[in-house]
Amino acid sequence: MKIKIIAWALIIFVITIGLAFTTVSQAQAPKITVFNPLGQPPAIERVPMASRISDLEGKTIYIVDIGFSATHQLLTELQDVLEERYPDTTWIVRNKIGTYFNDDPKLWAEIEEKGHGMIMGVGH
Amino acid sequence: MPNHRFTFVPHPITGASAEVCRKYLEGNDPVTGKPVLQEIIDALTVPLSSEDKKTGFIERPTPRLVEPDTVDNLHRLFLEKGWTDGLPVVLPTEARVAEMLKGTSHETDEEVGRMQPSSPHELWSYTVEKVAVNAVMAGAKPEYFPVILALASTGVTSLSTSTTSFATMVVVNGPVRNEIKMNSGIGALGPFSHANAVIGRTWTLMSINLSASGKAGETYMGSQGNNYNYNNLCFAENEEELPQGWNPLHVQKGFKPEESTVSVFLGWGFTHPDQSMEKTFHPQIPFWLKFVSPFSSTTLLLDPTIIHQMKYHEGIDSKEQLIEWIHQNTKVRVGDWLDDYYAVQNFVLPMGEMGQEPIASWMKLPKDAEIPQFSSPSRITVISLGGGTNFFWQAGDFSYMMSASVDNWR
């Protein structure tokens, strides 16, 4: 029994000393200076958002598909569900010209002239 | 921009049925947890806040140094911040970066280029010093630094984001290949050359840190990822084994033989054709290129044994002759071209609908007519690579993007 107690005491002593050494060595580990590897992001230009409509009653809202492949169904379904819930609003689905890398000034001009708002579907 | 009015629906959207789409729309935004339809209506009708109307610029300066800390803590910090490729890096101490900067005559604060994860993303800029920091992290030697700066000067990220999972490739030409002991022979694409491995790895670390590329789920959306991204197929062309008339890549691109260059490519992968050695080689190439989308380009990595076979036994006197032959003889049926390729439908046919030739004319052809699989010879690249141990080659869907001078960065 005595031998067992001494053995346990020795084990606890060794562990305690080990932990103490680890703590001391971590505390004493030298600090070094290194470079930040990140490049320089550009300043963000804050562009005010377009003004909002107060309600949807009698308004025309365009739903624009930018052409992300095989996703047109989502936007026609969006048109359907919005027509069901907001029947007094005109919901128009339009495809932007070209791929999703091409601009479509004619469509933007049409929306500005005839629309009150736009929802754009962007594949990601 | 936190104030922008985005609403997300779950992935994938591509090919989703009406039922699935309705479920998405009537469900919650997976990012905010709020109902999708309500978010859309709110985006249209909720008045702008004063924050929404603000103008001006938000500056985001990057500190030059990290707060001093122990080596272990800094390694942990770099990993946790996402500044690594997940593998251990060499910490960029002031002494190591100063040593790297000896590899170029350029000023430390000179802007090298600008990079972005893809064309709609913002362009980050970086100096010679920032490139040196990333080169140190990858384990580069100062003598590699002009090659790395040339690579950085292209502004091409190695982690181009797409729901596909892009890979990139960098081919080094000219005297610098041998000066820094790059491998173009046996095992050139394997882990057997420090220069090949480390220069390629630096490209990915630069892409992560100098352009914010590679933040999975944010600036990187490749569904499966691409293992090539670890060091980006970085190798030297085996110019020494090119026979007369077969010019190295950089000479094809207008550089002098004595100039050193990097050339960068974007694609997805390579495959190893199981080509018969009982037949002549080049007539078999069109069959093996069937796997490449007509949307893509192709790059062939030919072992010198194959090149010599073509030159001395098949009458192919130059890369250009081989490229023209491949262009003329590798075809796709119009019906397949119209119906079977996602990228053709996504990126090519809309251009034809806008009147772009020859796409517009091809769209009007009968479905059983044939058109070139690669729309022009410029979409085919041939590179000499390998140690000549046997008649093998690799074919990939890589597109040449651009070349840059290494000598300008010495």
**Residue A45: closest CA among chain B residues belongs to which residue?**
B57
For residue B124, the distance in angstroms to the closest alpha carbon of chain A comes to 5
Q: Does B61 touch chain A (CB under 8 A)?
A: yes
Using pLDDT thresholds of 50, 70 and 90, give the confidence band for residue A26. Answer: low
Q: Provide the pLDDT for residue B138.
A: 98
Q: Provide the pLDDT for residue A5.
A: 64
For residue A11, the distance in angstroms to the closest alpha carbon of chain B comes to 28
Q: Provide the pLDDT for residue A14.
A: 59
DSSP string, A35-80: B----BPPPEEE-PPPPPPS--TT-EEEEEE---TT-HHHHHHHHH
Q: What are the boundaries of each domain within chain A?
A: 1-32, 60-121
Return per-residue pLDDT of chain B as tens, 410 residues.
Answer: 567 888 999 988 888 999 999 999 999 999 999 999 999 999 999 999 998 888 999 999 999 999 999 999 999 999 999 999 999 999 999 999 999 999 999 999 999 999 999 988 999 999 999 999 999 999 999 999 999 999 999 999 999 988 889 999 999 999 999 999 999 999 999 999 999 999 999 999 999 999 989 999 889 999 999 999 999 999 999 999 999 999 999 999 999 999 999 999 999 999 998 888 889 999 999 999 999 999 899 999 999 999 999 999 999 999 999 999 999 999 999 999 999 898 898 889 999 999 999 999 999 999 999 999 999 999 999 999 999 999 999 999 999 999 999 999 99
The verdict on a CB contact (< 8 Å) between B115 and A39 is: yes
Q: Provide the pLDDT for residue A20.
A: 57
Q: Does A58 touch chain B (CB under 8 A)?
A: no
Chain center to CA of B7: 30
**Residue B161: closest CA among chain A residues belongs to which residue?**
A124
Q: Provide the pLDDT for residue B61.
A: 94
What average pLDDT is seen over chain A?
Answer: 86
ipTM: 0.90
Terminal CA-CA length for chain B:
40
For residue B171, the distance in angstroms to the closest alpha carbon of chain A comes to 25
Q: Is residue A6's pLDDT more than 80?
A: no
Burial of B224 (0-12, 13-18, 19+ CB in 10 A): exposed
Q: Does A1 touch chain B (CB under 8 A)?
A: no
Best mutation target, B14, B26, B44, B209, to test chain A (most A CBs within 10 A): B44
**Which B residues in the span 288-327 are in contact with A, Cβ-Cβ below 8 Å?**
none
pTM: predicted TM-score of the whole model, two decimal places: 0.88
Residue whose structure tokens are 């384990």: B139
How far apart, in Å, are the Cα atoms of B126 and each of A57, A60, B351? 51, 46, 35
Residue whose structure tokens are 């914010």: B212
Q: Does B50 touch chain A (CB under 8 A)?
A: no
Which of B57, B66, B125 is closest, CB to CB, to A39?
Answer: B125
Best mutation target, A23, A25, A33, A38, to test chain B (most B CBs within 10 A): A38
> In sequence order, what are the residues at sequence separation of 6 or more whose Cβ sits closer than 8 angstroms to the Cβ of residue B213?
B115, B116, B117, B157, B158, B159, B160, B161, B207, B219, B220
